[in-house]
Amino acid sequence: MKNTASSPGIPRGLPKAAHCLHCGEELGLSNVVFSNGNYFCCTGCSSVFELLNTLGLGNFYKIKEEQNIEKTGRPIDPEKAEEYGYLDQDNFINQYTSSEYPLKMDFYIEGIHCGACLWLIEKIPDYAPHIESVSLNMSSSVATVNFKDEKKFSSFPEIVKRFGYKAHPIKIDEEAQELKRKENRKSLIRLSIAAVCAGNIMLLSAAIYSGAEGVFAKHFGLLNLLLSLPVVAYCAVPFYKSVISSLRSRRVTVDIPIVFVIVVGFFLSTYNYLNGNDQVYFDSVTTFIFLLLASRYFLKSIQERITKKEPAGRLLFSQNRILIWDNQNKQFFLEPIEDLRAGQKVKLKKGERIPLDGELLSPDAELNLSVLTGENIPQTVLKHDVIYAGSILESEQAIIEVTKTGDSTRIGKLLDEVEKNYRSKISSSTYSDKFATIFTLLVGVIAIISFVTISTIISPATALSRVMAFVLIACPCAFVFALPLSLGFSLNSAVEKGILIKSTQIFEKLPHVTNIFFDKTGTLTKGVYKILKWNTEKLSEYDQAAIVAIEKESSHPIARAIVSHLGDKDVKLPGVTNFKHIYTKGIEARVGNHIYEFMSDKDIKSSNDINEIITTKIVINKDGETLSELYLGDSLKEDAKFVVNLLRNKGYKLHILSGDNENNVKQTALKLGIAEEDIYWEQTPEEKALIVKGLKHSMMIGDGLNDTSAFSSADVGVSVQGSVEESLKVSDAYILNNNLINIADLLEHGNITKKSIKRNTLFSVAYNITAGTLALLGYINPLAAAVLMPLSSLLLIGSSLYGQNNLNQKRQGAIL
């Protein structure tokens, strides 16, 4: 922790394209730490690196290298992590664990991303004295830990904490978990039984169709009947259940025509087999059920891969405690946050996230307001200023009087609103349900009319058999498995590209998007604050040393950037006196006989470089005369301009919606060629939501909590940064690797899916009209049904696949 930026002999400048040795983060000048000959992005990374090496766990980096893992998450600062002492206290142990051996506890581990993490976590029992074994499930990030000693539950999270992960003890609802596991296994078993039976029935039916007669036909038919029994009676049970529950709630779902087909098909076939007729459809019915189960299992497993990234089970304790002033004892006590009431006084320390709305009682404080503005540069607030929950304290400490807590804070209300919006978004009915209603009604009406007509013209017996064949053949394939498959393929290829999607409903909304809103910092730009231009050659050695000495007094990011830009001098640093902050302007200090001033200048000219956005100009004065000028700022992401042009050429209307100031937003818009009337600056989260709501068919792309209410007001909200858990709670899609090109991909996915749904619908309508008519006219025999039904299904599956291949080829073409 100590030998960081201040370590002697930090080289000047940085090697090209430097990345943090631990987490792989790109290094800017404001985030570089040099330690024992290696570069890191923060002290957290360098201390984890050292710890791993002293523990003999250096293979962590070897595994990462061999598995080609470039970027992992940043370690969580152990100082900020919770205390786990309560895990060893008697009242906790009695309440939450059973006394039986083995002593087991589950932990949800934040920050798991690759095989190297798996290795690190599962190697813990090799050297930790109290831990028997650890087994980590990577897809759910849950580690099950067996302890040797009953009062040492804290030992595991304490070790993990030092590696830069955060462990939350969770009380998994064992029953619910077990039930879910059993349900998953059951659906796999259902699928396998359906596969075996349907396969064998097909073989036997092929024999019958190709002319098996007499005793063979009779016995093969009997075998078919026997083999289809488990499929209809066991494998298809989920459909029956779903129909019963949908009938209870008086809703028409796509499962109603499915069950209708299964029941009619099976009983008609059984009746015909027993009476020696040849209208037997066991093969069609069982294949139908198998394909249905398979497509649903596929979709479910892809969806689970995404939702599993959220914490399983309930977090045991919110272990957050805060220093609250006790009037009787005249001192601060650490109390649970839940006990906080308005009117109380609290003390917060550097780096803490403020959990309340309140009024500042200390003279001043530096706050990182990124939760509300999206900007990472700390701002100074003065006594009696209002402080909002979610901001992070950057100065040493602050005393705050509480005005609001929990859900009634500004951020609490925002999140509440977000949740409400989402509930209403999700409850809207889907395309396939709407289709099912129409389809079911139509088939029912046609069946009744045809039955009446045919029985008057020919005979009731013929009418019954033809109508049954019609119902069986009129298959809603397009919606019962082609749609889930299309959505599943889209989801899957999205996941592979690093786009996580919460609900497949997004694909129905994407094709309608016309307005795209971008957040600026962290979305279009890198959000890394660097020195862009500074001519230091004219500065004398003495001035440079003086500047470093002064800036070391401050913890402001600008100061840190200046120090690491100049590098440490071997010369002894001069003494600094009279150091003072000049509110909103800069700092002033005396070194030797000279007074140095660092003033920010509002007169900013934009940079000529296509990617640089200058946000701050600092003028350094020495004894009242200008000594040097330096420019700091952010840069656009490498692909920002390309993606913006691509989207504009495709006809989308682009907007920028930022919490940053006018100058910075205008510079960004100018570089990207976005018109001035389409940009909004200094927007609060509430205002962002209103603007997005004001335009129809909108998509919001952002990176932080300050964009969440805009996400939920937009038709589609896409989050590009932050933790997966939090982002997926508030947005529809989450982009893992921070590449903007994925936005274009996502929109393309929407179009492809829409096209493939359209194609499938069209095909399905044509098929149903033709086959239905033939069935009613009496031309459909079991052979025709056996060929037509699977063939139509295969065609639809092929059509869904075709769309995906198309997309992949397009993407390759664009890269070449």
Partner 1 sequence: MNIIFLTLGVSIAIALLFLAAFIWATKKGQYDDLTTPSQRMLLDDYEITETKKDEKEEQVK
Q: Could you list the residues that contact partner 1 (CB under 8 A)?
A: 51, 54-59, 62-63, 67, 115, 118-119, 122-123, 126-129, 136-139, 159, 181, 184-185, 188-189, 192-193, 196, 199-200, 216, 219, 223
Residues 6+ apart with CB under 8 A from 811: 745, 748
Per the structure block, which two tokens stand in for 232? Answer: 């209809």
Q: Are 334 and 323 in contact (CB under 8 A)?
A: yes
Order the strands of the 594-601 sheet from edge to edge.
Answer: 530-534, 625-635, 612-622, 594-601, 586-591, 576-582
Q: Which is nearer to partner 1, 117 or 539 (CB)?
A: 117
Per the structure block, which two tokens stand in for 558? Answer: 């600008």
Q: Which is nearer to partner 1, 123 or 755 (CB)?
A: 123
The DSSP code for 768 is: H
Q: Which is nearer to partner 1, 112 or 371 (CB)?
A: 112
Q: Are 309 and 725 in contact (CB under 8 A)?
A: yes
Tell me the closest approach of the beta carbon of residue 234 to partner 1, in angstroms.
Answer: 12
Alpha helices in 731-816, H assignment, sequence order: 741-777, 782-815
Order the strands of the 142-147 sheet from edge to edge.
Answer: 131-137, 142-147, 103-110, 166-171, 314-315
CA angle 172, 173, 174 (to 5 degrees): 95
Q: Which is nearer to partner 1, 48 or 531 (CB)?
A: 48
Residue corresponding to tokens 């499930």: 137
Q: Which is nearer to partner 1, 115 or 444 (CB)?
A: 115
Residue corresponding to tokens 């529809």: 732
Cα separation, 233 vs 107, in Å, equals: 40
Q: Which is nearer to partner 1, 14 or 63 (CB)?
A: 63
Residue corresponding to tokens 């029953």: 175
Tell me the closest approach of the beta carbon of residue 19 to partner 1, in angstroms.
Answer: 22
The DSSP code for 354 is: P
Residues 6+ apart with CB under 8 A from 278: 272, 781, 782
Order the strands of the 345-349 sheet from edge to edge.
Answer: 331-336, 321-326, 345-349, 397-405, 356-360, 386-387
The DSSP code for 792 is: H
Q: Which is nearer to partner 1, 207 or 426 (CB)?
A: 207
Q: Which is nearer to partner 1, 44 or 772 (CB)?
A: 44
Q: Are 619 and 626 in contact (CB under 8 A)?
A: yes
Q: Which is nearer to partner 1, 59 or 600 (CB)?
A: 59
Tallying the residues shown for the chain, one arrives at: 816
Tell me the closest approach of the beta carbon of residue 189 to partner 1, in angstroms.
Answer: 5
Residue 285 host element (H or E): helix 282-307
Tell me the closest approach of the beta carbon of residue 222 to partner 1, in angstroms.
Answer: 11
> What separation, in Å, do the N-terminal and C-terminal C-alpha atoms of the chain show?
46
CA angle 29, 35, 41 (to 5 degrees): 40
Residue 665 host element (H or E): helix 662-672
Q: Are 359 and 401 in contact (CB under 8 A)?
A: yes
Task: Provide the residue type at 731 as one letter.
Answer: S
Q: Which is nearer to partner 1, 53 or 626 (CB)?
A: 53
Q: Which is nearer to partner 1, 180 or 251 (CB)?
A: 180
Tell me the closest approach of the beta carbon of residue 42 to partner 1, in angstroms.
Answer: 20
Q: Which is nearer to partner 1, 101 or 216 (CB)?
A: 216
Closest CA to 316 of 484, 479, 97: 97
Tell me the closest approach of the beta carbon of residue 804 to partner 1, in angstroms.
Answer: 22
Residue corresponding to tokens 């065609």: 795
Cα separation, 106 vs 565, in Å, equals: 45
Q: Which is nearer to partner 1, 196 or 464 (CB)?
A: 196
Tell me the closest approach of the beta carbon of residue 698 to partner 1, in angstroms.
Answer: 36
Q: Which is nearer to partner 1, 163 or 451 (CB)?
A: 163
Closest CA to 170 of 97, 78, 112: 97
Q: Which is nearer to partner 1, 59 or 505 (CB)?
A: 59
Q: Which is nearer to partner 1, 61 or 802 (CB)?
A: 61
Per the structure block, which two tokens stand in for 92? Answer: 């906790």
Alpha helices in 29-106, H assignment, sequence order: 43-54, 59-66, 90-96
Tell me the closest approach of the beta carbon of residue 59 to partner 1, in angstroms.
Answer: 4
Tell me the closest approach of the beta carbon of residue 125 to partner 1, in angstroms.
Answer: 11
The DSSP code for 327 is: T
Cβ count near 351 (within 10 Å): 12
Residue corresponding to tokens 């969440």: 708
Backbone dihedral region of 735: left (phi > 0), alpha (psi from -120 to 50 degrees) or beta? Answer: beta
Q: Which is nearer to partner 1, 308 or 552 (CB)?
A: 308
Q: Which is nearer to partner 1, 86 or 297 (CB)?
A: 297
Residue 641 host element (H or E): helix 640-649
Alpha helices in 458-515, H assignment, sequence order: 460-473, 477, 483-497, 505-509
Tell me the closest approach of the beta carbon of residue 221 to partner 1, in angstroms.
Answer: 13
Cα separation, 710 vs 692, in Å, equals: 6
Cβ count near 380 (within 10 Å): 15
Cα separation, 699 vs 690, in Å, equals: 13
Q: Are 124 and 162 in contact (CB under 8 A)?
A: no
